[in-house]
Amino acid sequence: MKPYYQDSTVTIYHGDCREVMSQLEIVDHVITDPPYSAHVHKSVRRGMSAHNGQFCERSDLGFASLSPELMADVAALSAKLSLRWIIMFSDSESSHLWRAAFESADMDYVRTGAWIKVGGAPQFTGDRPAVGFEAINIFHPPGRKKWNGGGKQGLWSCPIVVSRGGHNEVRVHTAQKPLKLMTALIEDFTSPGDVVLDPFMGSGTTLRAAKDTGRKAIGIELQEKYCEIAAKRMSQEVLSFPTEAA
Residues 8-51 have pLDDT tens digits of 999 999 999 999 999 999 999 999 999 986 555 555 555 444 44
Listing DSSP states for 218-231 in one string gives EEEES-HHHHHHHH
With a cut of 50, list the residues of the chain below it in pLDDT.
47-56, 165-167, 241-246
Domain assignments of the chain as residue spans, ordered by start: 5-235
Q: Which amino acid is at 184?
A: A
Residue 192's nearest CA partner among 32, 29, 5 is 29
Q: Are 124 and 47 in contact (CB under 8 A)?
A: yes
φ, ψ for residue 184 (rounded to 5)? -60, -40
The per-residue pLDDT for 38 is 59
Q: Give burial (CB, 10 Å; 0-12/13-18/19+) of 163.
A: middle
**Cα separation, 243 vs 246, whole angstroms:** 5
The per-residue pLDDT for 49 is 41
Residue 27's nearest CA partner among 87, 106, 83 is 83
- Assign domain 5-235 to its CATH superfamily: Vaccinia Virus protein VP39 (3.40.50.150)
The per-residue pLDDT for 34 is 96
